[in-house]
Amino acid sequence: THFGFETVPLAEKQGRVNEVFRSVARRYDLMNDLMSAGLHRAWKSTLVSMLRPPRTRPFRHLDVAGGTGDVAFRVAEAGGERTRVTVADINPDMLAVGRERAETRGLSRLEFVEADAQALPFGDAVYDGYTIAFGIRNVPRIELALREAHRVLKPGSRFLCLEFSKVDVPGLDRLYDAYSFNVIPKIGELVAKDRDSYQYLVESIRRFPAPGAFARMIEEAGFRRVTCRPLSGGIVAIHSGWKF
Ligand code: SAM
């Protein structure tokens, strides 16, 4: 089975992506743990430690493609009382799971907003921080999402993007390929009963721009001091940029 995303025109891509996340929403968190062997938790913690939300002054944070709230919960916990987090995601099913999880955890400093990363329903220069984790590769026009990130951030604040990257350790690259092409769709089939969605996941990781090219896109959107920090041998990377 081949999902055939390669041939999907840009205008249709979002529809297909929405279909994928609608169908996996209820199993999403379990699948994340299974497929990354829990590693996604460490990666998200590193992301939040780079953000370092201050505990002593108000902090307005925006987590885009925030899905079921994983990153937002960590930001809210790290920042404490004075941190407010907006979770923006295009998919109402993912947001619904996120709202339930927030309620269960008794977290009230969060809001969940249905929104497209490419056209955010927020004003200019209103946020102190922006994160997007495993989201940007799903967005049809990455350059629009980056420009929107730059627009909504206040001067002096930081953009952080956690995304799959290029494995740069000899040996690990082949192991990783074998894992992603064979094991991930299989787990998808067995646990989520949805092989195609996880086939899409693997293909979308393959097609995402290489670290250097992605860093240049972030610069083109207006960010400065752009850096890339690979984690776990380059399975994922955190790109950072500052708005001045
Ligand atoms: N950030 C969460 C995490 O790390 O667990 C969720 C990541 S999930 C792999 C990708 C999310 O991107 C999905 O919830 C999907 O609905 C969302 N998404 C896809 N296209 C989007 C868009 N154009 N704007 C906003 N969110 C989008």
| Domain limits, the chain | 5-242
| 143 in Cβ contact with 218 (< 8 Å) | no
Q: Per the structure block, which two tokens stand in for 199?
A: 């086939």
Q: Is 104 annotated as a binding residue?
A: no
The single-letter DSSP state of residue 209 is P
**What was the pLDDT predicted at 66?**
98
Q: Is 68 annotated as a binding residue?
A: yes
**What was the pLDDT predicted at 74?**
97
**What was the pLDDT predicted at 2?**
47
pLDDT tens digits, 77-109: 999 999 999 999 999 999 999 999 999 999 989
C-alpha torsion angle, residues 140, 30, 106, 129 (rounded to 10): -30
> Ligand 1: does its nearest atom lie under 6 Å from the Cβ of 71?
yes
| 240 in Cβ contact with 50 (< 8 Å) | yes
Distance CA 98, CA 110 (A): 10
Distance CA 198, CA 204 (A): 10
List CB contacts of 101: < 8 A, sequence separation 6 or more. Answer: 68, 69, 73
> Ligand 1: does its nearest atom lie under 6 Å from the Cβ of 70?
yes
State in Å: Cα 120 to ligand 1 middle. 14
39, 138, 204: which to mutate for ligand 1, most atoms within 8 A of CB? Answer: 138
State the closest ligand 1 atom to the C-alpha of 94, by its place in the atom list counted from 1: 14
> Ligand 1: does its nearest atom lie under 6 Å from the Cβ of 93?
no
> Ligand 1: does its nearest atom lie under 6 Å from the Cβ of 188?
no
Specify the long-range contacts of residues 7-10, CB closer than 8 Å, at least 24 apart: 10/140, 10/141
20, 44, 91, 97: which to mutate for ligand 1, most atoms within 8 A of CB? Answer: 91
**What was the pLDDT predicted at 78?**
96
Q: Is 86 annotated as a binding residue?
A: no
Phi then psi dihedrals of residue 92, to 5 deg? -65, -30
C-alpha triplet 230, 174, 180: angle, nearest 5°: 80
In this prediction the pTM is: 0.94
State in Å: Cα 170 to ligand 1 middle. 31
**What was the pLDDT predicted at 151?**
98
Q: Quick one: which of 26, 15, 75 has its CA closest to 51?
A: 75
State in Å: Cα 89 to ligand 1 middle. 6
Q: Is 78 annotated as a binding residue?
A: no
| 89 in Cβ contact with 97 (< 8 Å) | no
The beta-strand segments (E) located in the chain are 59-64, 83-89, 110-114, 127-133, 153-164, 224-231, 236-242
Each residue's pLDDT, cut to its tens digit, for the chain (244 residues) gives: 344 555 667 778 899 899 989 988 999 999 899 889 999 999 999 999 999 999 999 999 999 999 999 999 999 999 999 999 999 999 999 999 999 999 999 998 999 999 999 999 999 999 999 999 999 999 999 999 999 999 999 999 999 999 999 998 889 999 998 988 888 889 888 888 888 888 888 888 888 999 999 999 999 999 999 999 999 999 999 999 999 9
At the second CATH level, the architecture of 5-242 is 3-Layer(aba) Sandwich (3.40)
> Ligand 1: does its nearest atom lie under 6 Å from the Cβ of 200?
no
> Ligand 1: does its nearest atom lie under 6 Å from the Cβ of 116?
yes
Distance CA 37, CA 139 (A): 25
